[in-house]
Structure 1
Amino acid sequence: MKKITLILFLLFVSLGFSQTVVINELDSDTTFEGNNIDNHEFVELLSETPNFSLDGYVLVFFNGSNSGNDSSYYTIDLDGYTTDVNGLFLIGNNSVSPIPNLIIPSNLIQNGADAVAIYLGDDTDFPEGTMATQTNLVDALVYDTSDADDVALMALLGVSTQYNEGSGNNTNSIQRFDDGLGNANSITYTSTTPTPRALNDGSGMVLNGVLISVVDAYFNEGDSFDVTFTTEQAVDSDLILDFTLNNEGFNTSDFTGNTQVTIPTGQNTITSTITLVDDTMDEGDEEFKVVLQTVPNNYVRLNNNIERRVVDNDFVVAAYGTPLNPTFGIVSSTQPDGYYNSIDGLSGAALEQALQDIIAEEGVVRAQTYSDIIDILEEADQNPENSNQVWLVYTEQGRAKLDYQTTSNNVGTWNREHTFPRSLAGYNSIDLDDFRDGKNTFWNTTADSLRHGNSDGHALRAADGPENSTRNNQHYGQYNGPTATAGSFKGDVARSVLYMQIRYNGLSVENGFPDVSGQMGDLATLLDWHRNDPPDDFEMNRNNVIYEWQINRNPFIDNPDLVEYIWGNQMGNVWNNPLSVDQFTAETIKVYPNPVKDKLYISGNKQQYNVSVFSAEGRVVLTQKVDNNSYLDLELASGLYMVTIETNGESITKKIVIE
C-alpha cells in the first residue's frame, strides 16, 4: 500500500512541474498615466515548447471578493492561438508594449485578492459565476495587491500561496521563475518590473520591435499625414509591412496612399504618406485605425491599433439655435391632432391623471434600453451648429459624438445624465439594458413601470463627463450648474423633472431637498427656472425626436402653461387648451415669461406682430407693434389677462398672468 502511495505521489509531482502551459507573468494593477486607470494590464502564458498551439485551453479569471464568491467573471477561449518563438502568448490592453497577441478591455483584470487559471476545456464550461475548481486545471495563480489571503479561493484551486503584486497603483508584475531542477522548490514568484513578451530570466530570442507613429491626433478632410514605421534595430533583410486604416465607416474610399511599405536592408524606418479624401458628404466625424498586419517571427509589434480622428467638414447647421442662443417658432410640435384633447376642462388630480393616461398609455408608449439612450441623445441633443456634435447640458457647449465615454476616464467625454438621479428615484439598469437594439425593439411600459425611468429619453441629457460627476445626485437648487454659464439649461431640466412626476407613479417633486426615495427638489427652484427659461426650438426638436422613439411627449414643452395648473399659480383651476385659428397653427408663437412682471417677450417666425392686451373683463388695456424676439413693456396691475397676437390677417390668443 505504501509503495502505491509513493508512486502516485511521484506521478503527481511530475505532473505538477511539467505543465505544457503555465501563467508566466501577471500585471493586474499598473497605471503609468496617473489617472488610476489600468491601461497596461496583462497576463502572459508560457508553453513548454515554442510555437505551441493553445487549442483546447481556456483562461479563466476568478473574483475573490465577497460579492464575487470566488467565481468566474471573465473567460477567454484560446482555440486558434499559438505561442511565439519564445513560447510566450500575451493577453492584455492595447496600451501594453509590445502589443499583446490578444487584446482585452482596459480595467478588466481585477486587483485582488483574485485568481487567474488555465484549464483544459472550452469557454462554455465557465459561464459567469462558475465556482473555481481543480477539475481539468492546468495552472493557477492566486494574487493580490496588498490584500488579505483568500484562503477559500486557494483551497478551491489547490494552491498554497497567494502572491502580492504590491500596493494599489503599483508598477510591478508578478513573474514566475523556474530553476529547472524539477523539485517542489523550483518554482518561485517575484513582484518586479514588467517584462511583457520577454522571458522573465532574460533568455530567449531577442525580437526586433516595430513602432508605429502618427504625429497628430486630429485631421480634417483633405489633409495629408505620415504613418511612420521604425524598428529598434536595423533590419538584416528587406522588411515588408502591410497595414490597414479601415475602421467601421472609414474605408479605402476615404483616403489615398500606399498601405504596404518596405524597410530596406540596413535601415530601420520607412514612411507612407496618406491623403484624406475631401468629399461633399456629411458622413459625420470618423476615426481611422492603423493596424499593422502579421510580422515575421523575429519581429514584434511594439504598438498597434493607432486611432486618429478625421473631422468631417460637411456637417449640417440647423435652422434653429442652441439653448445658449435660442430661437422660437421655427420647430413645430409633431404631436398628433387631438393629442391633448382629453385634458380639456379638467383640474387638480383629474388633470394630472389625464396627462398620465396620455404619456404612459399602455400598449402605445414604449420603453427603450439604457444603451439605446446613446443613439437617442445623439439625435435629440444634436448640436444645432454642428451635426457631428451633441450639445452638453450644464456646460453649454458642443462635443463630438465620437467622444462618448467608454472607460472610467471621463475627461473630455460626454455621457448620459439623469435629470432625476437614479439614487433619488430608485431605478437602475438590468442586463438587457446593455443592448443597443434600435427604435423598433422596445418594452411594454405603464405608469407603474418605474424602472423604465432609467432609460426615459425625456429625463436624460448629454452631459460633460466631469460635470456629470460634479452634479452627482444633488437636488436642483443645491446644484445650479457651473459658474460663469448662462443657465440656458434650467428650464429644460425643470420640465424634464416635472414630467417624471406625471409619467411614473412613485415619483414626486417637492420643496426643499428631501431624502425620501422617489422625491426630488427643489420645486420652488424648478418653477422659477421653468418660468424664466421657456421652451425653445432646441427643446421642441428633442421632444419630437423622443416622441419617434417612445411614442410619448413631454407636455410641459408643448404646453408650458400646464406647469402653473399643476404646481404653480393656477393650481386647482380648470385647464383649457390654448385657442388658435386653423390657418395660424403652422406658426408657434412663444409668449414668455408667464407669469410676467414687466417685460413680455414675443417670438415666432414673422418679422413683426400687432399685440393687444385685454383685461379679464375683455377691455383693451394696451396695443403695440412688437418686432420678433422683442418685448412688450407692461405697466399693468397684477391679474389675469388675454394677449392677442396678429400678423398677416392671422391671430392667436394666449393667457398671461401679471404678478
Structure 2
Amino acid sequence: MLKYFLSLVTLLSVQYSIGQVVINELDADTPSTDTMEIIELKSTTPNFSLNGYVLVLFNGSTSGGDSSYFALDLDGFTTDVNGILLIGSNEVAPVPEFILFDNTIQNGTDAVAIYLGNDTDFPDGTLATTTNLIDALVYDTNDPDDTVLQGLLDVTMQINEGQNGNQSTESIQRRNDGTYEVKAPTPGANNDGSGVQFNGIAFSTTADEFNEGDSIDITFTTQTNVTSELNFDFTLANSTFNTTDYTGSTSVTIPTGQNSAIRTIQVTDDMNDEGDEIMKITFGAIPSGYNRLNDNKEIRIIDNDFTVAPWGTPLSPTFGNVTNTVPAGYYDSLDGLADAALVQAVQDIIADPVTVRAQTYADVIDILKEADQSPLNSNQVWLLYTEQQRRKIDFQSSGGSSVGLWNREHTYPRSRGGFNDIEADDIADGRDIFFPTRADSLRHANSDAHGLRATDGPENSTRGNKDYGEYSGPTGTQGSWQGDVARCIFFLTIRYNGLEVVNGDPANNTVGQLGDLATLLTWHRNDPPDDYEMNRNNVVYTWQFNRNPFIDQPDLAEYIWGNQVGNTWMNTLSIEESEFSNIEVFPNPVREKLFIKGLESRSVLNLYSVEGRRVYSTAFESETEIALNTLRSGVYILKITAQGKNFVRRLVIE
C-alpha cells in the first residue's frame, strides 16, 4: 500500500511539473521588418528548469503544410524569479535569453508549441502533433483560420495578433485564466504587471564606428538610481579583436544613489593592416535585481593601414600590371581544334577531375574577400553592378535587411541553373579541404567562385534571375562590370554540363538556359579583361585549381559563339615574355597613337590578335610614335623585338 501511495505521489508530481510551462506571450510581427519578435514562456514556479522541453514553430501556409520549420531545444534554460524565459530578436529589451535571427517567426496562420522532447524530434517538415504536447498557440495576423492546424494541436481557437488593427505594435498575451488578449508588448515581465520589478541597465556609445587611435566613451546607465553600489564587468573581444587592440578598464562601478558611469577605451593604432574589425561590447554577469536592456553591441573599428593595389578598379581599368599566373602549357591542348572539339577541350581543362577542386558555399565568402578586393582599399570589396566599394566586414551573414551590406551574387542565377547547396556547404573549411568535382557536378556551380561576385544586397535582389539584356544594371552606372559578367557566364556554361547561354530570353525562365548571348558577346567585346579581372582569375585559381579561359584568352568566345565559329584555334604567343626593364609603352588603353620610349637601337614591333594572328608590323629606331587608329577596338598582344630580346604586353585599343 505504501509503495502504491509513493508511486501515485511521484506520478502526480511529474504531471504537475509537465503542466507548469505555458506560452505566455507571442509577438510575431513587430515591427513590419520583424526585428523585435518574441516568444515568452512562463512556469508556475520560479527558477524552473526547462530540461527535457523543446519549443517548436509550425508553418500553417499552403507551402508550409502545417509542419515544423524551427525547433529550439530548451535543455540548459531556466525561467527567472518571475517564472519567465524570454526568447526573441537582438533588438528586444530586455535582452532575451536566446537570440533569434530577425524575421524567424512566421506571421501566420502558424503555431508555436512546447513539447517534451528534443529538437531532433522535430526536423524541418515534421507534421504538427499532440504527442508529448504541453501547450500550443495557433495565431495569425489577419489571416483565415487554419482548422487543420488547430485540429493537429487540439486547439479550439486561433488568436489574431492584428485584431485591434495594430499587429506591428501589439502582442498576444496570456491572461491568468488561460485566455488571451492583444495589447502592447510586455517582454520579460508578467503580463499583468505583477512580480519582481528589475532595474534595467544599458550602455551606449557616441557612434557605431571609430578609427584606430580613437578614444571610445562607453556610458552605462540604469533605469533608476541604484540603492547600493553596483559592480560588474564587460568584455570587448570579438573574433580577431582582442586585448592587444585596446587599453582601458572593463570593470564598472555605479555608486550608491547614482545611475550612470563612463569607461573610456583607447583603441590601439598599431600600424599593421589587420583589416577592419568589429569590437563587441558584452555584459559580464549582472547582479540579482538587474536585467540587461541591450547587449552584444557591435562597434566597427576601421583600420587606417590599408594598402592600395598597383592596378585600377573596373571604373578606371589598367592593363598589363598584373602578371597572368597561368601555368605553362595550360591551354596547349586547344591548338588546332574547332567547334565541338574545341569546346570539349576547354571543358577538359577547367573541369579536369584530377586537378580541379570545389569549395563550399561558405568558403566563397573568404574567396570573394580576396578575389574581389578593392584596388583602392585592401579592407574593402569592389561590388559588381553598383560599381562601388564596401567594407569586407559588412557581409550579410543572415536574413533580414540587406541595406548597406554585400553578399554573394550568382551571375548565373541558382533558380535558372538548377543548382543548390547542401548542409556541408554551410561550413567554411578553408583552401585545402575541398570536394572532388567533374563536368557533371552541377551542384558545384553553386559555389564556383568564377561565377560568384561580391554584390550590393538590395541590388542582388533587384537583379533577381533576369536574363542579361533584360537586366542591364543600375541606372547611372558605367557598365564596367558587363564584360566580367559575360566571361563568368561563358565559363560556367562550358565548365558544367546542363548549362547553356542562348539568344533571347528563354520562355518561362527555362532551367539550364540563360540569355541573352548576343548581349553578352557585345559586353565581352566592349569591356575586355583588365588587371582587376586578371588578378581575380589568379586568386580563384589558388582555391579551385582552374582558370577562366575567357579572361586569359578572350578571343576563345569568338571561336565558340562569335564571329570565328568554325575556324581553327591557334595560340602560339605567350604574353608573359618580357626581357626589358626600361621600356615604356603608353597610353594603354590607346585610341590613336601609341608612344614607345626606352629603346636606343633598331626594333621591330608586331601586333597580334589574342589568338595569335599578326595584324600589324613595323620597324623603328629608338623612341617613336605609332598610329593605330586603323585597327578595330579590342585586346591585342604587342611584341617588340630588339637586340635578340622580347618585350610582350597586352594592349587595349579603344
Equivalent residues of 1:533, 1:593 under 8 A apart: no
Which consecutive unaligned segments of at least 5 residues does structure 1 have?
Answer: 1-10, 179-185
Query: Measured at CA, do residues 471 and 599 of structure 1 come closer, stay the same or move farther in structure 2, by a change above 3 Å?
Result: farther
The answer for the alignment partner of 2:159 in structure 1 is 163
Equivalent residues of 2:639, 2:649 under 8 A apart: yes
Shift of 1:604: 13
1:558 aligns with 2:552: yes
- For residues 602-623 of structure 1, what are the alpha-carbon distances to aligned partners after superposition, in whole Å with 9 as ceiling and x for unaligned? 9999999963569999997655
| Distance of 1:386 and 1:658 partners within structure 2 | 28
Question: How many residue pairs were aligned?
Answer: 635
| Distance of 1:46 and 1:543 partners within structure 2 | 56
- For residues 459-510 of structure 1, what are the alpha-carbon distances to aligned partners after superposition, in whole Å with 9 as ceiling and x for unaligned? 1111111222222222222222223323221221111111122212232223
Shift of 1:656: 11
The answer for the alignment partner of 1:446 in structure 2 is 438
**One-letter amino acid matched to 2:568:** V
The answer for the alignment partner of 2:392 in structure 1 is 401
TM-score, scaled to structure 1: 0.87
- For residues 491-536 of structure 1, what are the alpha-carbon distances to aligned partners after superposition, in whole Å with 9 as ceiling and x for unaligned? 2111111112221223222333333432222222222222222211
Equivalent residues of 1:328, 1:604 under 8 A apart: no
Shift of 1:277: 0.8
The answer for the alignment partner of 1:500 in structure 2 is 492
The answer for the alignment partner of 1:370 in structure 2 is 361
1:645 aligns with 2:640: yes
| Distance of 1:98 and 1:59 partners within structure 2 | 20
- Of 81, 84, 100 in structure 1, the residue corresponding to residue 80 of structure 2 is 84
- Of 514, 520, 534 in structure 1, the residue corresponding to residue 514 of structure 2 is 520
1:244 aligns with 2:251: no
Equivalent residues of 1:329, 1:590 under 8 A apart: no
**One-letter amino acid matched to 1:430:** I
| Distance of 1:539 and 1:590 partners within structure 2 | 21
Q: How does 1:242-641 map to 2 (within 5 A)?
A: 242-405=233-396, 406-515=398-507, 516-580=510-574, 583-584=577-578, 599=592, 611-612=605-606, 622=618, 632-635=627-630
Q: How does 1:60-139 map to 2 (within 5 A)?
A: 60-139=56-135
Shift of 1:278: 0.8
The answer for the alignment partner of 2:7 in structure 1 is none
Q: Which moved more, 1:270-279 or 1:123-132?
A: 123-132
Query: Measured at CA, do residues 165 and 580 of structure 1 come closer, stay the same or move farther in structure 2, by a change above 3 Å?
Result: closer
**One-letter amino acid matched to 1:85:** V
Equivalent residues of 2:233, 2:252 under 8 A apart: yes
| Distance of 1:638 and 1:435 partners within structure 2 | 45
**One-letter amino acid matched to 1:75:** A
Query: Measured at CA, do residues 226 and 625 of structure 1 come closer, stay the same or move farther in structure 2, by a change above 3 Å?
Result: farther
The answer for the alignment partner of 1:23 in structure 2 is 23
Q: Which moved more, 1:298-307 or 1:604-613?
A: 604-613
| Distance of 2:269 and 2:149 partners within structure 1 | 58
Equivalent residues of 1:84, 1:297 under 8 A apart: no
The answer for the alignment partner of 1:54 in structure 2 is 50
**One-letter amino acid matched to 1:172:** E
Equivalent residues of 1:637, 1:658 under 8 A apart: yes
Query: Measured at CA, do residues 291 and 433 of structure 1 come closer, stay the same or move farther in structure 2, by a change above 3 Å?
Result: same
Q: How does 1:220-235 map to 2 (within 5 A)?
A: 220-235=211-226
Shift of 1:349: 1.7
Q: Secondary structure at the match of 1:579?
A: coil
Query: Measured at CA, do residues 268 and 479 of structure 1 come closer, stay the same or move farther in structure 2, by a change above 3 Å?
Result: same
| Distance of 2:490 and 2:259 partners within structure 1 | 65
Equivalent residues of 1:328, 1:590 under 8 A apart: no
Equivalent residues of 2:528, 2:634 under 8 A apart: no
Q: Secondary structure at the match of 2:454?
A: strand
Q: Which moved more, 1:528-537 or 1:214-223?
A: 528-537
**One-letter amino acid matched to 1:191:** V
Equivalent residues of 1:374, 1:416 under 8 A apart: yes
| Distance of 1:565 and 1:591 partners within structure 2 | 30
Query: Measured at CA, do residues 151 and 187 of structure 1 come closer, stay the same or move farther in structure 2, by a change above 3 Å?
Result: same
| Distance of 1:637 and 1:431 partners within structure 2 | 50
Q: Secondary structure at the match of 2:101?
A: coil
| Distance of 1:538 and 1:395 partners within structure 2 | 16
- Of 141, 145, 150 in structure 1, the residue corresponding to residue 146 of structure 2 is 150
**One-letter amino acid matched to 2:279:** F
Equivalent residues of 1:85, 1:297 under 8 A apart: no
**One-letter amino acid matched to 2:280:** K
| Distance of 1:27 and 1:606 partners within structure 2 | 77
Shift of 1:432: 3.0
- For residues 92-135 of structure 1, what are the alpha-carbon distances to aligned partners after superposition, in whole Å with 9 as ceiling and x for unaligned? 11100111122221111111222212223333333333332323
Shift of 1:222: 0.7
Q: Percent identity, please.
A: 57
| Distance of 2:205 and 2:434 partners within structure 1 | 43
Query: Measured at CA, do residues 650 and 494 of structure 1 come closer, stay the same or move farther in structure 2, by a change above 3 Å?
Result: farther
Query: Measured at CA, do residues 274 and 592 of structure 1 come closer, stay the same or move farther in structure 2, by a change above 3 Å?
Result: closer
| Distance of 2:619 and 2:365 partners within structure 1 | 48
Shift of 1:341: 0.8
| Distance of 1:525 and 1:593 partners within structure 2 | 26
| Distance of 2:484 and 2:267 partners within structure 1 | 40
| Distance of 1:656 and 1:260 partners within structure 2 | 62
Query: Measured at CA, do residues 607 and 533 of structure 1 come closer, stay the same or move farther in structure 2, by a change above 3 Å?
Result: farther
- For residues 433-469 of structure 1, what are the alpha-carbon distances to aligned partners after superposition, in whole Å with 9 as ceiling and x for unaligned? 3222222332222222223222211111111112222
Query: Measured at CA, do residues 513 and 645 of structure 1 come closer, stay the same or move farther in structure 2, by a change above 3 Å?
Result: farther
- For residues 11-59 of structure 1, what are the alpha-carbon distances to aligned partners after superposition, in whole Å with 9 as ceiling and x for unaligned? 99x979993221110111111xxxx421101111111122222233222
**One-letter amino acid matched to 2:289:** N
| Distance of 1:412 and 1:619 partners within structure 2 | 48
Shift of 1:429: 2.7
| Distance of 2:51 and 2:421 partners within structure 1 | 37
Query: Measured at CA, do residues 586 and 522 of structure 1 come closer, stay the same or move farther in structure 2, by a change above 3 Å?
Result: farther
Shift of 1:404: 0.9
Shift of 1:145: 1.4
**One-letter amino acid matched to 1:291:** T
Equivalent residues of 1:613, 1:623 under 8 A apart: no
The answer for the alignment partner of 2:4 in structure 1 is none
Equivalent residues of 2:170, 2:184 under 8 A apart: yes
Shift of 1:649: 5.2
Q: Secondary structure at the match of 2:450?
A: helix
**One-letter amino acid matched to 2:646:** S
| Distance of 2:305 and 2:101 partners within structure 1 | 33
Q: Secondary structure at the match of 2:266?
A: strand
Shift of 1:379: 1.0
Shift of 1:344: 0.8
**One-letter amino acid matched to 1:453:** A
Equivalent residues of 1:580, 1:651 under 8 A apart: no
| Distance of 1:377 and 1:586 partners within structure 2 | 34
Shift of 1:393: 1.1
- For residues 244-272 of structure 1, what are the alpha-carbon distances to aligned partners after superposition, in whole Å with 9 as ceiling and x for unaligned? 11111111111111111111111111110
**One-letter amino acid matched to 2:80:** D
Q: Secondary structure at the match of 1:502?
A: helix
Shift of 1:345: 1.2
TM-score, scaled to structure 2: 0.88
Equivalent residues of 1:371, 1:433 under 8 A apart: yes
Q: Secondary structure at the match of 1:46?
A: strand
